[in-house]
Chains A and B, each alone.
Chain A
C-alpha cells in the first residue's frame, strides 16, 4: 500500500502573526482617530453626529449696572472693593469666562458696572449678579403679631424680626445637601457650620430650642424651627429640586459676603467679543503647519529621521485623540483656545521626544504648572490649564504608542 508523503508544515511564528495583527489594529485605530478629528468628516456618514461643538454659538454678553447708596460712608472704598471681589469670586467660580468690572460715582450714588461674556446659562449668571445674598440670622420681634390674618406675609419680612449677632461671616461653611424632609422625601437643605471652638452659636441654638427663628436672605425670611432633639441640627430648607440650582445656591452661600445691599438698576445685552476663528480653517492651518514644519526638519537633516517620525506620530496621535474626544463627547470648545492648546502640545511633544533625558523633568514641571493654574486660575486660563493637563497625559501615552508602533512596523517590514 502506497503511503501518502508527509506534509511538512513550517513552524508557525505566532508572535510574528500577533504583532502583525496588533499593528493592523493600531493602524486602524490611529486612522479612525485622524478621520474623526479632521474637519467635516462627520458629513461622510449620516449615521453619526460628531461635529465639533464650538462655544461661539453659546456665547452671550451683557452689561449690568448696580447701584449702592453708600456715598456718605467713610468706608465706601472698602465696601465697593469687597462687593466687587465677592461678585468676581461668584462669577469666576461658576465658570464665567470673561468678567470686567469698574466703579463710578454719579449724583451722590456709587455704581458698579459689570461686563460679562459667557457660555454658561444666562438666567443663572443673572441670578448671581442680581442677588447680593446678604444673610442674617433673625429672631421674632415680640411686638409683632405673626398670627394676624390681616398680614399673612408678616412671617416672611425681615422688618418684623430682630437681628442677632449672627451673619454669614459667623459661619465656616454652609453646606448644601439632600436630607429627608417632614414628608419623608429627600430635598435640599442648607446646614450652617461653625468652627468647633466657637460656642456662641451652640448657646444660641440651645436658648431657642423648640422655638422658631429665621434666616433672612436679602430681607426675605425663611422660618426655621429649632429642634428639641440633640445634637441640634440647624437645617434651612432650600426651595429647589434641581442639582444645578442647588450648586448655584451653594455658591451664593459660600463665596464671602456682600457688605451692603445693592440694586440692579440696568442690564443690557451687548455684542460679544469674538476671538474665535473659523474652526475648519484653523484645523487645516494647524495640519498644514505641522506637515510643512516636519517636512522642513526632514529636509534640513539636523535631527535623526527616527526621532522626527516618532515626534510627528506622537503629535498626530495626541491631537487626533483630543479632537476626537471633544467631537464625540460634544464638549463645547473655544476654537482659539483649542488652537493654542494644540500649538503648545506640538512644541512640547517635539522637545520631549527629542530629549529623552529631559522628558520626565519637562512633563513634571508642566503638569505642576497646569495643576496650579487649573486650581487658582479663572476663565480661559483655567480651561486652558485643565485641558493642558489632560493633553500632557495623552501626550505621554501617545509617545509610548508611537514608539511601540514604529518598533513593531520596523520589525515586520525588516527595516
Chain B
C-alpha cells in the first residue's frame, strides 16, 4: 500500500503517464504481435492472463521486499516489470513458435503442442532457478531482489498459463 501511495502522491502526472504508457505499450505490442502471428484468440487470452498474473506477482513481490525484507524501493526496481516481461515473452514465444510451426501440418494436435510447451517450461524453470540462485551470492541486495521477484513472477505466470492452457487451448 505504501508503494502505491508513494507513487500516487509523489510521482508527477508526466511520470505516471510515462510509466503507464510504457507498461501498457509492452502489453499491447506483445499481444498484438502474438495475435497477428497466431490468429488464435485462446493464445491471445492466455498471453494476456500470463501478463496480468506476472504484474500481480510483481506488485506482491515488491510489497514483500519492502515490508518483510525492509529494502527501500528505488528507481532500480523499475527494471522488474521489464525483466519479467522479457522472461515471460521468451516463454510465450515457445508456445507461439510451436503453434505456428505445427498449425498447418497433417495430424495437428494441440495436445502435442501443450506437451512440448510443458517440457520446455520445465527446462526453463530449472534453468532460471539455477541461474538466479547461482549468482545470488555475488550481487548486491537490490540486484538479488530484482532477480528473485522477476524470476518468481515469470515462473508463477508461466505455470498459471500452462495450467489454464488445459482449459483454454482446444482443437
Contact = CB atoms under 8 A, between A and B. Distances in A.
Contacts of A84: 12, 14-15
Contacts of B143: 275, 277, 336, 339-340
Interface string A131-162: 00000000000000000000000000000000
A296 interface: yes
Interface stretch (A165-173, A222-230, A349-357): A349-357
Interface in B66-117: 74-76, 78-79, 82-83, 85-87, 89-94, 96-98, 100-101
B99 to A, nearest CB: 9
A220 to B, nearest CB: 27
Interface in A80-129: 81, 84-86, 88-89, 97-103, 117
A100 B90 contact: no
Q: Of residues A273, A296, A344, A361, which shows the largest number of chain B Cβ atoms within 10 Å of its Cβ?
A: A361
B134 A373 contact: no
B75 A373 contact: no
Interface in B115-153: 120, 123-124, 127-128, 130-132, 134-135, 137-140, 142-143, 146-147
18 contacts: A100-B74, A101-B10, A103-B10, A275-B142, A275-B143, A282-B135, A293-B130, A302-B123, A303-B123, A339-B138, A339-B139, A347-B127, A358-B96, A360-B97, A365-B34, A366-B89, A380-B75, A388-B86
B73 to A, nearest CB: 11
Given A85-B15, A348-B86, 8 more contacts: A88-B15, A275-B142, A289-B130, A340-B79, A340-B83, A368-B30, A372-B25, A376-B22
B37 interface: yes
A380 B147 CA distance: 15
A110 to B, nearest CB: 14
B97 A376 contact: no
A364 B30 CA distance: 10
Q: Which 7 A-B pairs have the closest CB atoms?
A: A358-B97, A285-B138, A362-B93, A85-B14, A289-B134, A357-B101, A84-B12
A117 B72 CA distance: 15
B75 A358 contact: no
Contacts of B10: 100-103
Given A89-B14, A336-B140, A388-B86, A372 B22 contact: yes
Interface in A368-397: 368-369, 372-373, 376-381, 384-385, 388
B29 A98 contact: no
A289 B87 CA distance: 18
B140 A274 contact: yes
Contacts of A351: 90-91, 93-94, 120, 124
A276 interface: yes
- What DSSP secondary structure best describes chain B's contact surface? helix
Given A81-B13, A362-B94, A288 B22 contact: no
A339 B135 contact: yes
A296 to B, nearest CB: 7
Interface of B: 9-10, 12-15, 18, 21-22, 25-26, 29-30, 33-34, 37, 74-76, 78-79, 82-83, 85-87, 89-94, 96-98, 100-101, 120, 123-124, 127-128, 130-132, 134-135, 137-140, 142-143, 146-147
A119 to B, nearest CB: 13
Interface residues of A, number: 69
A286 B131 CA distance: 8
A281 B135 CA distance: 10
A380 B29 contact: no
Nearest to B14: A85
B135 A285 contact: yes
Given A100-B75, A101-B10, A368-B29, A293 B93 contact: no
A260 interface: no
Nearest to A303: B123
A344 B86 contact: yes
A346 interface: yes
A73 B9 CA distance: 20
A84 B97 CA distance: 45
B12 A85 contact: yes
A297 B131 CA distance: 12
A99 B14 CA distance: 13
A287 to B, nearest CB: 10
A84 B91 CA distance: 39
Given A275-B140, A286-B135, A368-B30, A376 B79 contact: no
B138 A281 contact: yes
Interface in A56-88: 81, 84-86, 88
Given A282-B139, A365-B89, A380-B76, A288 B134 contact: yes
A313 B92 CA distance: 24
A355 B120 contact: yes
Nearest to A279: B138
Nearest to A345: B86
Nearest to A337: B79
A97 B75 contact: yes
B90 A381 contact: no
A118 to B, nearest CB: 11
A275 B142 CA distance: 6
A361 B12 contact: no
B83 A346 contact: no
A408 interface: no
